[in-house]
Amino acid sequence: MNVMYKLNREQCRSDLPAFNVGDTIKVYSKIIEGKTERVQSFSGTVIAKRGSGVQEAFTVRRVAFGQGMEKGFPLNSPRIVKIEVLRLGKVRRAKLYYVRDRIGKAAKIKEKKY
């Protein structure tokens, strides 16, 4: 086996759930302010995933108080405490950047049905 592949696999986290672009998730991340440490949640729709292995990252978008905000998270970061998948989205794109230009119901993403 390739040495880089082996190192990459060892450093990846296995405790996080599987999610895809279009899913609505809640990310709990550790925030350090001075000497204090707290956990803050950020919930929204995953609009992009990129990279693989240790470098994998994802972007979550939400609208709060009429203002759209996005946050990028490295998937294997020790700052991420946990991720909850709230809804599974039904999308046909790998990147949902078009949602940035949409407002209200037009920005909605259909839910997967089983």
The answer as to whether 56 is a domain residue is yes
Q: What is the CATH number of the domain that holds 88?
A: 2.30.30.790
Q: Write out pLDDT tens, residues 82-96.
A: 999 999 999 999 999
Whether 65 is covered by a domain: the verdict is: yes
CA 75, 80, 83, 89 torsion-angle sign: negative
Residue 114 lies in a domain: no
Range of the domain at 28: 3-97
Residue 103 belongs to some domain of the structure: no
User: Is 15 within 8 Å of 76 (Cβ atoms)?
Assistant: no
- pLDDT score at 1: 65
Residue 31 lies in a domain: yes
* Token reading at 50: 């990129």
Q: What global pTM score does this model have?
A: 0.90
Look-up: residue for tokens 């946990």?
A: 82
Residue 16 lies in a domain: yes
What gap in Å lies between CA 21 and CA 113, rounded to an integer?
Answer: 16
pLDDT in tens, 27-73: 999 999 999 999 999 999 999 999 988 999 999 999 999 899 999 99
Does residue 11 lie within any of the structural domains?
yes
Number of domains in the chain: 1
Cα–Cα distance between 54 and 94 in angstroms, integer? 20
Query: What pLDDT, on a 0 to 100 scale, did the predictor assign at position 95?
Result: 97
Residue 106 is assigned to a structural domain of this protein: no
